[in-house]
Amino acid sequence: MRPTIDRNHHTKPNQRPANLNIKRRTLLKGLAGAGILSAASVDQAFAETSAPLRVVLIPLQHGWGHGSDLCEQISGSEFDFNLPSIWSPFEKLRDQLLVIDGLRGTFWGNAHDVSYADLFTAGVPYKAAEKRDTLGGPFPGSTSASIDYLLEEHYGKGTLRFSARYHSFGASHHPLSFNHRQQSLPFYTQAYDAYNSLYASTPSATSKTGNAGIILAELFPYLSNDVAKQLQNLNVTQQDKLLSYLDASESLQKKLASAASSTAPTPGSSAQLSSIPDKKQSINESLDSYFDMIKVSFTNDTQRVAVLGIGDRNNQFQWTDSEGNSHSGYSDYTGDFHHNIAHYKGKPEDARRINDAWTKHYASKVADFAESLRSTIDIDGNTLLDNTIIVLTGEVGDGNHGRWNKPHIVIGGGDRLKRGDRKMGRWLNVPKINVAAAGTEDSSGMFVSIQDDADWRSGVAAQFTHADLWTKIGQLSGLSMTSFGIPSMNTQALDI
């Protein structure tokens, strides 16, 4: 008898995803005839029931805005408001925007280090121990899985995880995504590698030596049994290593099965990559490739969730100094973006100007990506952007470590984010609360008051939290969930 494997020995019951229940639907066959969808897309669409919601999470190192400063720059009413200048690239998508002017993140310890693991999990308890050994840096670990992983499980398809130089402390990528065993999930750090793995070098179900099909039919069950036998003799930490192996093995098995039944995209048509990344891409080219891969994967429905972390090491943007001179990049100004630019407060005016230009540069890239989704027709006849929610977030709200009011921008989603008879183009002016007496859970799950903790500064913060947002995103995607992460991070009052 095949040994049974308990993969989620750390999982709390309320974190388990609900089963997906999608009905079969009629496809728009004409799309294929018109050359809008590839044959592979149509084949996959036939197997689908309704257009699924796709989700793209885009954390930007140091955040997407100026925290409370930026929130003060937004004025007007819910459907008639001004966008701060650094977000001006989103003007062309105004009818697709939901601007949330502040969500509260966890607030203890060194801002960046704590927040990486907390950003998509809301699951890092108060003063959690660093997991330098397994996370590659001084990062505390999460106690729960990340939202992208829950969605990945829910959809039964892999998640695209890309890091465009979003890293530090020698780790090749920040620990953002976690499974139920609290293991950090890997990111592609080079578009070239991602392309090779996702498209070019897809393991083949054929082989020059032997009949690969019948070999594989025996191979994977053999490996699973091998792991199951070994698990019995290991402690939890070592079991996790083999369970990660098992996950990887099964992921490959699915991929091989998929490769055997579909055609991998190649450049040249609407649902295929516009170009093949090479090894020496610039950061901007690499970013374009990542967006391209997300679009193609969503169009072909090979993946439905993507995480794209964007880091600060990029000199390919333009800015104008306070005397009106134009510059390319920041390296002539400083070699230390983090301390001399992102921490712009108290610095010369040019530091803020560089920070603004840098943020605006990426806003422009995201806006172009969203536009490309809007110009793609999905299997239900709506645009791909209507069936995709893009969330812009960050480990902090701004470069000055603000985590009380982290601005978020939600793009797309179509009718899913309908409010009354209005769809998007909305500003959610989040109420503020005083959190002087705030508390949270420690690693044992006990609620602790931390108002006297020097690291937990009292102040005015957003009423809602990023956990609230991830709960909503999960619900919109069909997950049965009412809360997310640790209990104190849930207000259950965010209405998007």
Partner 1 sequence: MFESQCSSCHGELGIGAAFQELYECDICGDESALYTAILTTMPVPTASDCGEECSAALASYIYNDFLAAPGTLDTSDQSCQEQGKLSPPQLRRLTSREYKATIVSVFGDIFPDTAWPSFGDALPTLGMSNNANLLSINSLNFESIYMSVDVIVETLLTSEHDLGTCLDTETPEQCIKRPHKEYGAALWRRPLTAEDRKPLDASLARLAAAGGSPLDQMAFDLKALLLSPNFLYRHEIGKETEGISELDSYEIASLLSYSIIGGPPDQKLMWAAAKNELVNPADIEKHVARLIESQEFGQQLLEFYKDFLKVDNILTVPKQEHLNLTSSMRDALLKSIELSIESEVGDLDQPLMAAINSNNFFVNDLIAPLFGLTSDSLSGELALTEVSIEERNGLLTHPAFLTTHSKEGSSGIVRRGLFTLLQMSCQELGAPPEVLTEAALPVDMDPDTTSSRELLHLRHSSQAECSVCHKTIDPAGFGYENFDALGRYRTIEKDVVPIDASGSLTLGAETLNFSNSVEFTGALMSSNTLKACLTKRYFERFSGASLKQSSCENKKLQASTLSETATIRDIIQSISQLESLRLRGNQQ
Residues 86-115 touching partner 1, rule: CB under 8 A, are 109-111, 113
Angle, helix 349-374 to helix 283-299, in steps of 10 degrees: 30
Q: How far is the CB of 28 from partner 1 (least distance, A)?
A: 33
Question: Cα-flanking dihedrals φ and ψ of residue 214, to 5°?
Answer: -75, -25
Chain-centre distance for alpha carbon 417: 19
Rule CB under 8 A: choose which of 400, 405, 471, 477 binds partner 1.
400
Site membership for partner 1, residue 487 (CB under 8 A): no
Q: How far is the CB of 13 from partner 1 (least distance, A)?
A: 24
Query: Hey, which residues between 136 and 155 contact partner 1 (CB under 8 A)?
Result: 136-138
Q: Which residue has the tokens 């004025």?
A: 75
Residue 216 parent element (H or E): helix 212-231
Q: How far is the CB of 153 from partner 1 (least distance, A)?
A: 13
> Can you tell me the distance from the alpha carbon of 131 to that of 142, in angstroms, rounded to the nearest whole number?
10
In the DSSP assignment, the letter for residue 482 is S
Residue closer to partner 1 (CB basis): 16 or 255: 255
Q: Determine how β-strand 388-393 pairs with β-strand 54-59.
A: parallel
The residue range among 98-106, 339-347, 432-440, 473-481 that interacts with partner 1, by the rule CB under 8 A, is 339-347
Residue closer to partner 1 (CB basis): 193 or 415: 193
Rule CB under 8 A: choose which of 325, 346, 421, 495 binds partner 1.
346
> Can you tell me the distance from the alpha carbon of 308 to that of 285, in angstroms, rounded to the nearest whole number?
14
Q: How far is the CB of 481 from partner 1 (least distance, A)?
A: 24
> Which positions from 43 to 82 touch partner 1 by CB under 8 A, shown as an x/- string?
----------------------------------------
Rule CB under 8 A: choose which of 9, 24, 29, 339 binds partner 1.
339
Q: Which amino acid is at 371?
A: E
Q: Which residue has the tokens 């309320």?
A: 14
Q: How far is the CB of 343 from partner 1 (least distance, A)?
A: 6
Residue closer to partner 1 (CB basis): 238 or 266: 238
Q: How far is the CB of 237 from partner 1 (least distance, A)?
A: 7
Angle, helix 466-476 to helix 147-155, in steps of 10 degrees: 10
The number of residues that bind partner 1 (CB under 8 A) is 75
61 and 395 in contact (C-beta within 8 Å)?
A: yes
**What are the DSSP calls for 377-415, one per residue?**
B-TTSSBTTTTEEEEEE-SSSSTT---SSEEEEEEE-GG
Rule CB under 8 A: choose which of 9, 24, 241, 418 binds partner 1.
241
Rule CB under 8 A: choose which of 5, 32, 252, 476 binds partner 1.
252
Residue 179: exposed, middle, or buried by beta-carbon count in 10 A (0-12, 13-18, 19+)? buried
Residue closer to partner 1 (CB basis): 39 or 217: 217
What six digits make up the tokens of 79?
């459907």
Residue closer to partner 1 (CB basis): 167 or 374: 167
Alpha carbon distances (Å) from 150 to 17, 101, 113, 415: 6, 26, 23, 23
Site membership for partner 1, residue 277 (CB under 8 A): no
Q: Largest Cα–Cα distance of the chain, in whole Å? A: 76
Q: How far is the CB of 234 from partner 1 (least distance, A)?
A: 7
Site membership for partner 1, residue 127 (CB under 8 A): yes
Residue 77 parent element (H or E): strand 76-77
Q: Where are the beta strands (DSSP E) in 193-288?
A: none
Rule CB under 8 A: choose which of 46, 79, 169, 447 binds partner 1.
169
Q: How far is the CB of 132 from partner 1 (least distance, A)?
A: 7
Site membership for partner 1, residue 133 (CB under 8 A): yes
Residue closer to partner 1 (CB basis): 22 or 236: 236
Query: Hey, which residues between 431 and 460 contact partner 1 (CB under 8 A)?
Result: 452-455
In the DSSP assignment, the letter for residue 53 is P
Work out the angle at residue 460's Cα, subtended by the Cα atoms of residues 457 and 461, and round it to the nearest 5 degrees: 90
Residue closer to partner 1 (CB basis): 113 or 153: 113
Site membership for partner 1, residue 401 (CB under 8 A): yes
**107-120: b or e for each residue (b if 16 or more CB lie within 10 Å)?**
bbbebbbbbbbbbb
Site membership for partner 1, residue 172 (CB under 8 A): yes
Query: Hey, which residues between 180 and 199 contact partner 1 (CB under 8 A)?
Result: 183, 185-186, 188-189, 193, 197
Residue closer to partner 1 (CB basis): 35 or 346: 346
> Can you tell me the distance from the alpha carbon of 439 to that of 451, in angstroms, rounded to the nearest whole number?
7
Q: How far is the CB of 387 from partner 1 (least distance, A)?
A: 25
Site membership for partner 1, residue 255 (CB under 8 A): yes
In the DSSP assignment, the letter for residue 192 is H
Rule CB under 8 A: choose which of 244, 372, 443, 475 binds partner 1.
244
Query: Hey, which residues between 204 and 233 contact partner 1 (CB under 8 A)?
Result: 204, 207-211, 214-215, 217-219, 221-223, 225-227, 229-230, 233
Q: Where are the beta strands (DSSP E) in 278-422?
A: 305-310, 318-320, 326-328, 388-393, 406-412
Residue closer to partner 1 (CB basis): 149 or 298: 149
